[in-house]
Amino acid sequence: MAGGEGTRIRKITKDKIPKSLVSLLGKPILEHQIEALRKNNVKQIYIVVGHMGLKISEHFKNGEDFGVSIQYICEETPLGSAGSLFFLKDSIYEDFLLLFGDVIFDINVDLMYNFHKDRNAIATLFVHPNSHPFDSDLVVVDENSKVLCFDSKNNNRNYYYSNCVNAGIYFFSPQVFTHFQELKKVDMERDLLFDICGEIGSVFAYLSSEYVKDVGTPDRLEKTAIHMKNGLVARRNLSNSQKCIFIDRDGTINKHIGLVTSPEQLELEMNVVEAIGLVNNSGYLAIVITNQPVVARGLCSVDTVNEIHKKLHTLLGNQHVYLDDILFCPHHPDKGYHEENPKYKIDCECRKPKVGMIKTAAAKYNIDLRQSWFIGDTTTDLLTGKNAGLMTALVKTGEAGGDGKYCLEPDYSAKNLLEAVKYILRI
C-alpha cells in the first residue's frame, strides 16, 4: 500500500516524491521492503499507488531489475487504508501478505504464515510492543491471541493498557474479498477488521519481537537508519538466534512490598526506565519472568494480574521503553491457605526455580540461553537462571538475596537493574 501522501514526512519529501521513495541509507523505503520480501521468497508483488504513483512505477518498472514481478494498482481517488483491495478480488485466490509502504521490517514471513494457517484465520495482524504506545492504535486480544477489538490512539485513555501495537503487516485469506462488493473508501481497522472480528476463523494477532517500524516521520526515519547501520534490524529476525535479558518483576522492576494484588500497589524502582531502554536498543530481548502465587492463594485473579501488567506496560510505554513479553506462573504447590484457589494449587513446571517459563520464551523467540542472562533480587532467581543455563545477576533492591532459600553466588552483583544491564552490555 504505497498510495499515501506522506503528510507527516513532508519536511523530507517536499511534495516532490511519494513517501515510499524517501531515501533510507541510499535506497528508497519501498526498495528495502522489496528486498526483505524477496529474501523471504515473496516475489509476486502488487503495489497500490496514488499520490505521485508514476514516480514509483518509473523507478521499479516491472520489478525484473529487483528480482521480483510487480504489477500496479492506481487509486484515482483515495480509498482509505483498505479500499483498494477491491481491485484484487479477481486476481488473488490464496492467502496473501499486505503491508504499508512506510514500514521497515525484517521478519521471518514463514513463521507468521504458519501462525495464520494454524488458526484458519481470515486475517492475521503482526503486533508488537513499541516505544510510543500512547499515540499508537492498540490491539486488544484474548489469551488465545484472538483479536477482540481495537483501541484507537484518539481514545481518551484514562486506563491502563497492554503495549500491543498493530505494526502494519497482515496476512489475509481470500475470504476477505467477500467484504468488497463495491468500490468505496474502507478503513482497515474501523471498517474491515472490526467487521470480521465476529466471524468464524476471524482475526488473530501474531506477537513477535522482530523489527518492524513505521518510518513515516523524520525522527523515526533517523532512528531506523541507526538501527540498520548497527545491525539491530537484521539481528531481530527470528531466523537468527536471539539473546535475552530475563528479568524478575517484584523487587527488581517494581518496588518490593510483599504480594502485589492490585495495580495501585505497583511502583517502579529507580532507574528501571533507563535500564530497559538500554536493553531495547541493544539487540537483547527484555522478558519478565515472575512467580505470582497471589492467584493460587486466592488473593486476586488472573485477570487482576493482567491488569497489574497493563499498568507496567503503560508506565514504561509513557517513557518510550517496553518489555518484549511478560510470562507469569499463577501456581503455588503448598495448600492450607483459607482463600486458596484449588485450581492453581499444583506442582507445576513453570514456577521458579523451575524453568518452564524460560523454555516457553526460548522456543517462541529462538533464544540462545547460553548467551542470555537472568536478573533478579532473590536466590530463587539465581537458581532459576542456573537451572536454565543462563548467566545471572543479583540486584540489591527488593530482597537483595536475603530470602536465603538457596546457597549460590551470582555471576555479577549490582546495586540495581540499571547497573546490572550496563555490566551485561559492557557500557
* Residue 197 pLDDT: 87
3-state secondary structure labels for all residues of 156-168: CCCCCCCCCEEEE
> Spelled out in words, what is the top-level CATH class assigned to the domain 7-222?
alpha beta
Check if the beta carbon of residue 249 is closer than 8 Å to that of residue 234.
Answer: no
CA distance 137 to 128: 11
Cα 22 to its chain centre, rounded Å, is 25
248 catalytically annotated: yes
Helix, strand, coil tally for the chain in percent (to 5): 35, 20, 45
Q: Are 203 and 121 in contact (CB under 8 A)?
A: yes
Q: Where in the chain is the domain with CATH 3.40.50.1000?
A: 241-424
DSSP 321: -
Which long-range CB contacts under 8 A does 330-336 form with residues at least 24 apart?
330/292, 330/293, 330/294, 330/295, 330/296, 330/302, 330/305, 331/293, 331/295, 331/296, 332/293, 332/296, 332/297
Q: What is the pTM of this model?
A: 0.94
Q: Is 250 considered catalytic here?
A: yes
Query: pLDDT 10s per residue in the chain (427 long)?
Result: 997 766 777 777 677 888 899 999 999 999 999 999 999 999 999 999 987 889 999 999 999 999 999 999 999 888 999 999 999 999 999 999 999 999 999 999 999 999 999 999 999 999 999 999 999 999 999 999 999 999 999 999 999 999 999 999 999 999 999 999 999 999 999 899 988 987 766 999 999 999 999 998 898 899 999 999 999 999 999 999 999 999 999 999 999 999 999 999 999 999 999 999 999 999 999 999 999 999 999 999 999 999 999 999 999 999 999 999 999 999 999 888 788 999 999 999 999 999 999 999 999 999 999 999 999 999 999 999 999 999 999 999 999 999 999 999 999 999 999 999 999 999 8
Look at the domain 241-424 and name its fold: Rossmann fold (3.40.50)
Quote the strand ranges of 211-297, DSSP E.
211-214, 243-247, 284-291
Residue found by looking up cell 512490598 in the block: 257
Catalytic pick among 151, 214, 250, 381: 250
**Maximum C-alpha span of the chain:** 74
If phi > 0 it is left, if psi is from -120 to 50 it is alpha, else beta; for residue 398 that is left
Of how many residues is the chain composed?
427
For residue 185, how far is the Cα from the chain centroid?
Answer: 29
Q: How far apart, in Å, are the Cα atoms of 378 and each of 128, 263, 330?
A: 30, 23, 18
Of the candidates 102, 151, 214, 248, the residue annotated as catalytic is 248
What's residue 200's pLDDT? 67
Query: Distance between CA atoms of 297 and 340, rounded to whole angstroms?
Result: 4
Decide if 394 contacts 376 (C-beta within 8 A): yes
pLDDT per residue as tens digits for the range 230-276: 999 999 999 999 999 999 999 999 999 999 999 999 999 999 999 99
Q: pLDDT tens digits for 75-134?
A: 988 899 999 999 999 999 999 999 999 999 999 999 999 999 999 999 999 999 999 999
Q: How far apart are the C-alpha atoms of 21 and 27, rounded to whole Å?
A: 8
Map residue 114 onto helix, strand or coil.
helix
Which residue ranges does the chain devote to CATH 3.90.550.10?
7-222
What does the alpha-carbon distance between residue 231 and residue 244 come to, in Å, rounded to a whole number?
A: 16
Residue 184 burial class via C-beta count within 10 angstroms: exposed 0-12, middle 13-18, buried 19 and up: exposed
